Structure 1
Amino acid sequence: MEEIIKQLGSQATLAKNMRLALRKIGKEEENPSRRLSILKDEVKKMDRYLENCLFDPVFKGRINSELKAYRAEISSLEALVKADFGRKLAENLKDQGFSLEGHYPRLRTSMYTFVVKLDANKVDIYYGPEFERIDTVKASPDLTAAKLLEWDETISSRQFDDDEFLNNLLEAYRICLLRENKNFDEEIPVSEIISAYSFVIQDKKFRENPLKKYYGEYSRIMFSYDLSRLRKRRLEGFELRLITARRAETKRKSAFLWIPPQSGKGLGESISQVKFREVK
């Protein structure tokens, strides 16, 4: 008897939940994105409920027949929302001098990639071809464009001087050689050179008292971008050489660094090692 009562209670709860889901599905919603989100959530719930309910097969068939129309609506709304998202994002970026390329769910502009996940109502923003995720925002064209512009300002608007960069990089290279007991013209892994370089460029306050509050942030992305805008390769009898990453090395993020093309067009390059060699 207890088992029957328990099962009746379970079926009553299922019926109640199904009624709530169907009401949400049938409620009007003018916003296509919101309507799509509601339909996907509630139809998914209904599929789960129907698997567990003990309703008469004929009645379950009637419910599935009703849901068929809403599944078709989901397909048409997905196409509409995807196209609308891309169009609005392109408009927002165009006003700031960026052009949008690609197809849903991967869209590209300049040295950035957007991975749009409308199902999860979010957009992942990457530096490069999904090389480094820099942020995640809600799936809004306005928010996505604003966040991209904010990050681009942080990455690309820093002051830069070729000689100063090369001088600091050469010092970082010497530090790495000393640590690993290597000689000039030997290669240093890119992850190690970034670490040494970020220390070399810290100001006097940090060197005298290495507290977090004195540390000037310098990321892999910043190093990558600085290499892309470096026009010189020689300094005081030394020449910088960047070693192209092998395919196996690109499987581990820490083992390589992606560098955007100087022209702004193309695939860029991936490096795994850095070295300086003496030149006459």
Structure 2
Amino acid sequence: KSIDKLTENDPINNFHKIKKDMIGIEKTLNQSRLDGFIKEGIEQHLQPIKEKIPEWEDSVHKSFGLKLEESLRQSGFELEGHYPNLKVLLYTLDVNLENNTVAIWFGPLQEKLKTCKLVPEDIVEKLKDIHNKNTQQRYDDKTFSSYLYEAYKIASYRNKLKIGEQVKIRDILSEFAFLIQDITFKTNPIKNRYKDYGSVFFAYDLYRLKERNKENHEINMITATRAFTARRADFLWIPSNEKGDGNYISHIKFREL
């Protein structure tokens, strides 16, 4: 009866509940020891609802997409792509209608940042917060390039490599994240003094880096080969513009000029 009410009142807005209930009913029917005649009667009653589900699902897609596009537009964002992966700037929205959720990823499904309900206004708010956090963090080109070169030299030494050789980008990130910590953390390295700096911040800062030369060496970012894209721990996705294009980078080297 409850599923009948849901389908009669507003099947589009109740779609997720209808689908969930249908799965539950079918599972119960399969496991039950009901008389075959009764079972058949219930299945016949549910058949028109089952046949309508693809049509309702399509309507839910369209309705959600239009509402999300409008909410994003009002905040100055542009929606691109196709279900289940929609694109907004540097981010991918991984839409899961089954679970009624959206996962917000950095780049093409590279780093998961947030999961939220399929509510356009909530998605836009979370996206704004994430984008502001990534793009409005304090940044100075000269300081960043100095720390980057220093992190490269330390990572080279730890890996028994010479200056000018390729060093894994994740190894450089590990050194970089420590170098940028305040003196308060370095003198007493406890959790609440640590300044968060993860792979997304690093990737975005590498994208906006302008100063390519340091101490007569030029930075080269090495595009990941197939072997280095097998594991996410072996590369980083670095944006090449604000539209969401980018490259998979596995190593960095500072080449002598």
**Normalised by the size of structure 2, how large is the TM-score?**
0.94
What's the secondary structure of 1:73's corresponding residue?
A: helix
Aligned to 2:100: 121
Per-residue deviation, residues 202-238 of structure 1 (Å, max 9, x unmatched): 1111111111111111010000001111123112312
Quick one: distance in 2 between partners of 1:46 and 1:146?
A: 36
Relative to structure 1, the CA distance from residue 271 to residue 71 in structure 2 (aligned partners, 3 Å threshold; closer, same or farther) is: same
Aligned partners of 2:220 and 2:255 also within 8 Å: yes
Do structure 1's residue 210 and structure 2's residue 189 form an aligned pair?
yes
After TM superposition, the structure 1 = structure 2 runs for residues 181-196 of structure 1, keeping only pairs within 5 Å, are 181-196=160-175
Task: Structure 1: give runs of 5+ residues left out of the alignment.
Answer: 1-22
More helix by share: 1
Aligned to 1:180: 159
Aligned to 2:248: 270
Aligned to 1:157: 136
Per-residue deviation, residues 88-110 of structure 1 (Å, max 9, x unmatched): 11111111221101112111111
After TM superposition, the structure 1 = structure 2 runs for residues 179-258 of structure 1, keeping only pairs within 5 Å, are 179-258=158-237
More contact order relative to length (CA 8 Å, sep ≥ 6)? 2
Quick one: distance in 2 between partners of 1:104 and 1:55?
A: 40
Structure 1, 89-98 or 148-157: larger mean CA deviation: 89-98
Aligned partners of 2:11 and 2:18 also within 8 Å: no
Aligned to 2:15: 36
Relative to structure 1, the CA distance from residue 248 to residue 181 in structure 2 (aligned partners, 3 Å threshold; closer, same or farther) is: closer
Per-residue deviation, residues 47-70 of structure 1 (Å, max 9, x unmatched): 223223344434333222211111
What's the secondary structure of 2:14's corresponding residue?
A: helix
Distance apart, 1:164 and its partner CA:
1.2
Per-residue deviation, residues 139-168 of structure 1 (Å, max 9, x unmatched): 111111111111001101112222111111
Quick one: distance in 2 between partners of 1:266 and 1:139?
A: 22
Aligned partners of 2:90 and 2:244 also within 8 Å: no
Quick one: distance in 1 between partners of 2:70 and 2:161?
A: 52
Runs of 4+ in 1 over 3 A off after TM superposition: 28-34, 52-59
What's the secondary structure of 1:120's corresponding residue?
A: coil
Do structure 1's residue 84 and structure 2's residue 63 form an aligned pair?
yes
Aligned partners of 1:90 and 1:100 also within 8 Å: yes
After TM superposition, the structure 1 = structure 2 runs for residues 100-139 of structure 1, keeping only pairs within 5 Å, are 100-139=79-118
Quick one: distance in 2 between partners of 1:33 and 1:156?
A: 37
**Normalised by the size of structure 1, how large is the TM-score?**
0.86
Structure 1, 85-94 or 218-227: larger mean CA deviation: 85-94
Relative to structure 1, the CA distance from residue 52 to residue 159 in structure 2 (aligned partners, 3 Å threshold; closer, same or farther) is: closer
Task: Structure 2: give runs of 5+ residues left out of the alignment.
Answer: none
What's the secondary structure of 1:241's corresponding residue?
A: strand
Per-residue deviation, residues 173-211 of structure 1 (Å, max 9, x unmatched): 111122223211011111110000011111111111111
Aligned to 2:2: 24
Distance apart, 1:128 and its partner CA:
0.3
Aligned partners of 1:173 and 1:188 also within 8 Å: yes
Number of aligned residue pairs: 256
Larger radius of gyration: 1
Aligned partners of 1:24 and 1:38 also within 8 Å: no
Quick one: distance in 1 between partners of 2:34 and 2:116?
A: 42
Quick one: distance in 2 between partners of 1:28 and 1:38?
A: 8
Please tell me the residue identity of whatever aligns with 1:259.
I
Quick one: distance in 1 between partners of 2:159 and 2:136?
A: 34
